[in-house]
Structure 1
Amino acid sequence: MRKLIYGMNLTLDGYIAAPGDDIGWSEPSDELFQFWSDQLQATDLTLYGRKLWQTMSSYWPTGDQQPDATPAEIEFARRWRDMAKVVFSSTIDKVDWNTRLVTGDAVAEITRLKAEDGGPMDIGGATLAAAAMRAGLIDEYVIAAHPVLVGGGTPFFTALDNWVNLNLVETRTFPGGVLLTRYETRR
């Protein structure tokens, strides 16, 4: 059975985007960017909701060709293009860059993918992750909390029907006061 990981940058008050989908607060240090790149390298399959897919696919397919791209950004862009991805959406009809589109029941498809043999999967996008969280499908949470309060926006966590007990497995600090915590779901 595959492991499903939900990890993102978020504000100290728990938002992945401020009102208006503003993520200007989340500029990662080189060290944090490398952490996320290494996470991508260790992932067999990434699951995206539509909004995050559109954000990622608007830059990373050619991110390595930008004149000011750093070596880490070049590496990330190549990894991103080459890795297998699944986008869950009922409003778009085409995806590219080693990506498959799913328009049906996201929870059923994620459950099916988890049951397959293979390496870890990660999930991104608040709405998609919320559905997986409520269904009890997430095995690990990776939180890079930035020292900023935005007061509202898109929350990382969703309302739940039941408690989810977690075990802390890692803490790490990054430049700029970013605190990374990693938790595994107790089963």
Structure 2
Amino acid sequence: MRTVTFTMNISLDGYCDHTMFNPSEEVMEYFTATLREVDLLFFGRVMYQLMFPYWADVAQNQSGTAAENRFAERLTAIDRVVMSRSLNSVDEKTRIVRSNPAEELQKLKQQRGNKISVDSVSLLPELIQAGLIDEFQLVVHPVLVGQGRPLLNVGSLQERFHLKLVDTIAFRSGSMALHYLKQ
């Protein structure tokens, strides 16, 4: 059975708006390294549209820093599933699924392969409650943004979800990578 990892950037005050962060080269290298174990990305529509075509353009034109270019190349090489009722078209490495995200992820988890990386705040409560998230890789950035999408909305979980911290990495930028496993 494949491992499902939830990966996200987050501000110190708990918001997940990627446009509020400016990850250092070191953090970009960390994310590239985490993707080496991943062979499927599982997105909600909002995150998919935030990530693509931006990173596809960086990969094609090599328009970022060296670390951003490496991240973009790895990210765009991985197959993707996007959960969306409204998207009509996606790139050739992406498949649209219209409904039942937990059911779809459960099917994918049963297939042979490496890790599946989930990158969707909107789907997170449903996937946690279905018992599908095995680990969390959060990078906490030293910034207070005071607005945006919280990691979890108040009342979005029916019960507590206990995690075990298995690794931390302190970056020179002040960001911290936290790796948790489901208990």
Q: CA deviation at 1:78?
A: 2.0
2:27 paired with 1:32: yes
Q: CA deviation at 1:67?
A: 6.2
Q: Sort the Cα spacing of 1:94 and 1:68 in 2 relative to 1 into closer, same or farther, 3 A.
A: closer
For structure 1, the residue ranges without an aligned partner over 5 or more in a row are 18-22
2:48 paired with 1:46: no
Structure number having the greater helix percentage: 1
Q: CA deviation at 1:15?
A: 0.8
SS in 2 for 1:149: coil
SS in 2 for 1:113: helix
What is the match of residue 164 of structure 1? 161
Residues 124-175 of structure 1, C-alpha deviations (whole Å, 9 max, x = no match): 1211223212322110011111112222321113421111111110011112
CA distance in 2, matches of 1:65, 1:119: 25
> Mean alpha-carbon deviation: is it higher for 70-79 or for 159-168?
70-79
Alignment map for 1:9-24 (pairs within 5 Å): 9-17=9-17, 23-24=18-19
Percent identical: 34
Q: Is the 8 A contact 1:82 1:97 kept in 2?
A: no
Q: Is the 8 A contact 1:81 1:97 kept in 2?
A: no
SS in 1 for 2:38: coil
What is the match of residue 20 of structure 1? none
Q: Is the 8 A contact 2:168 2:179 kept in 1?
A: yes
Normalized against structure 2, the TM-score is what?
0.92
CA distance in 2, matches of 1:133, 1:65: 35
2:180 paired with 1:183: yes
Alignment map for 1:22-171 (pairs within 5 Å): 23-66=18-61, 68-158=63-153, 159-171=156-168
Q: CA deviation at 1:71?
A: 2.4
CA distance in 1, matches of 2:120, 2:29: 20
Normalized against structure 1, the TM-score is what?
0.90
Q: Is the 8 A contact 2:25 2:68 kept in 1?
A: no
Q: Is the 8 A contact 1:47 1:121 kept in 2?
A: yes
Q: CA deviation at 1:68?
A: 4.2
